[in-house]
Amino acid sequence: MTPVLSVRDLSVRFRMRGGRHVAAVGGVDFDLAAGECLALVGESGCGKSVLASALLGLLPGNAQTAGTAVLTGPGDGPGAGVDLLAADERTLARTVRGRRVGLVPQSPAAHLTPVRTVRAQLEEALRELTGTPRAELRAAAVAAAGRASFPAGLLDHHPHELSGGQAQRAATALALVGNAPLLLADEPTTGLDRDLVERTVDELRRHADEGRALLLITHDLAAAERIADRVAVMYAGRIVETAAADRFFGAAGPRHPYARGLLAALPERDFTPVPGMPPELGALPEGCAFAARCDRRTDACRVLPRLTDGVACHHAAPDGAAPAGVGSAGVGPAGVGSAGVGPSGTAPEDAAPADAVPDDIAAEETTRA
């Protein structure tokens, strides 16, 4: 079956003042099928949101991308998909955003237009994306709200009159209007309380079960565990491990030392942090970016490890080893498939200068001019 989204060797770097570069995303490969949920997890500043922006064509002008991200719709034959990285703005604006990729945003309060009611925004999206005739708009807006469990009684409210959970549903309703085969949820649960997190991700899961592909970008491991089929761990711009979710969170556990550390930091496990902090994306080491924080570091780590069998580490735990903090042993090889990940590629080389820097990259920048 053709995946809905097929990402190969995706890299993003930003040109900074003084000719320096910030490598935000490097050599990312993954496939995502209809009905499947892939959770992309990692610390803040690891490049997750840059990856999401790249898939929507929303990177600032000083970003340089390499690789491919092919989106194949249900009606497309093999090879007929759109490469999101190569498509021009007109194609992205008219055929991709909202129509083929729905974005569930991080901060719905900031995503919704503050001066218009939810109904007005839904009706506008319906008119633009589905061409619903004016006479049917009102009923269609109610139906669209219902698909995201947004209460019809609140349709005439402005965004500031909604609670966090209600605003999240309004934003989700907007993301679903175009019936896009790919849903991209960028930290959809930040700042919500646990009940609301569970309700929000359960609804996202329901939309995946209806046949959409769901890319869930989050730092909330509990949310990922709840709904994901597969987990991809990102560190310093690279995917360092991909695994089936039941294996990742189960007795077998992750194999990369960073992924094991991240899980062990959970309060229900060891509650001990990974020592140190992530490296600056503007000054990544030559070899493994995690080596400085890793207790398995050897000379071999001076060479960048390639993603092989779902893990990019010279000293990965063997398949089936029990992770720290779980304490179970004797688990056999999990027998997970390749998890849709190809071999890691080379660094980007092409260039296209510009000015702006996205916030989370600027956050990683030093003051040195």
Partner 1 sequence: MLELASLTAGYDRRDPVFRDVSLTIAPGEAVGLLGPSGCGKSTLARVATLLHRPDAGRVTVDGHPVRGWRHRAPRELRTAIGVVFQQPRLSADPRLRLRDLIAEPLRATGRRAEAAGRVAELAHRVGLTDDLLSRRPHEVSDGQLQRACLARALVLRPRWLVCDEMTAMLDASTTAALVAAVEEYRREHGAGLLAVGHDRVLLDRWCDRTVHWASLTGAPAPAPAAEADATAGAGV
Residues within the interface to partner 1 (CB under 8 A): 42-45, 163-165, 190-196, 219, 221, 261-263, 265-268, 271-274, 276-277, 359-360, 362-367
In angstroms, the CA 53 to CA 285 distance is: 25
Q: What is the DSSP letter of 327?
A: -
- Distance CA(343)–CA(331), nearest Å, equals 27
Give least dist CB 16 to partner 1, A.
12
Residues 301, 308: Cα–Cα separation, whole Å: 15
Nearest to partner 1 of 177, 263 (CB atom): 263
Distance between alpha carbon 128 and the CA centroid of its chain, in Å?
26
Residue 202, both tokens? 């359960």
Q: Would you say 200 or 344 has its CB closer to partner 1?
A: 200
Is 69 or 228 the residue whose CB approaches partner 1 more closely? 228
Q: Which two tokens stand for residue 254?
A: 């992750």
Q: Which residues contact 256 (CB under 8 A, 6 or more apart)?
A: 233, 240, 241, 290, 311, 312, 313, 316, 317
* Smallest separation, CB 226 to partner 1 (Å): 14
Whether 289 and 256 have beta carbons less than 8 Å apart is answered as: no
Shortest distance in whole angstroms from residue 291 CB to partner 1:
17
Of the two residues 32 and 262, which places its CB atom closer to partner 1 in the complex?
A: 262
355: its two tokens: 């000015």
Cβ at position 316, least distance to partner 1 in Å: 19
In the chain, the N- to C-terminal Cα span, in Å, equals 50
Q: Give the whole-angstrom CA distance, residue 339 versus residue 320.
A: 16
Give 12's strand partners: 25, 65
